[in-house]
Amino acid sequence: MLPTIRNILYATDLSESARRALGYAVSLAGHYKASLTILHVVRDVVELMSEEAGFDLEEHFGSEAWRDFNDAAMSKALETARDRVREAAKECATNEPDCPVSKARITIVAGNPADRILEEISAGSHDLVVMGAHGRSEFMDMLVGGVARKVVRLSTVPVVLVRLPEEIPENPD
């Protein structure tokens, strides 16, 4: 029995591979006459800076000041993300009048990207996820853990990962 695809989740980090994945999401949504949800997750700024610094900045320097800083930075990041997602949606709709992006539900949330994507998969009635895959080395992916890898491993629905052409390893034959 063939699967029915009615709802597609397109998860974007606004990278080039995610931009390429948008083409696949749009094509699949058009082919299956499916609805499209666009999800972008903005990382918590203090959490991200703490990871880079190697210690919990909020705990070390006081939580109230960092909370204010984080709220301001998060507000700006969310607005920037909304603008960039809308721009991509307009670009697609301009190139194709019946582009599924013009009717897409756009969701911008804050948090851990893999966790929030998995939450959306669980909460929504998505039949398929489309997202970009970064071409990091296997060693870095093991150390840091990849958003795409975690989503593929834990998703309850199929996930289509799209790489940029230069990220695709050549066959060593």
Q: Could you give the domains of the chain?
A: 7-167 (3.40.50.620)
Q: What is the pLDDT of residue 140?
A: 44
Q: What is the pLDDT of residue 70?
A: 65
Q: How far apart, in whole angstroms, are the C-alpha atoms of residue 78 and residue 149? A: 24
**Residue ranges in 35-103 assigned as alpha helix (H):** 45-53, 57-61, 63-95
Of 3, 4, 6, 22, nearest to 126 (Cα)?
6
Task: Name the DSSP letter for residue 43.
Answer: P
Residues 52, 155, 39: CA angle, nearest 5 degrees? 65
Per-residue tens of pLDDT for the chain, all 173 residues: 888 999 999 998 888 888 889 889 988 998 999 999 989 888 766 666 666 666 665 666 666 766 676 677 667 767 776 777 777 767 766 666 667 777 788 888 888 899 999 999 999 799 999 999 875 555 445 444 488 889 999 999 999 999 887 755 566 55
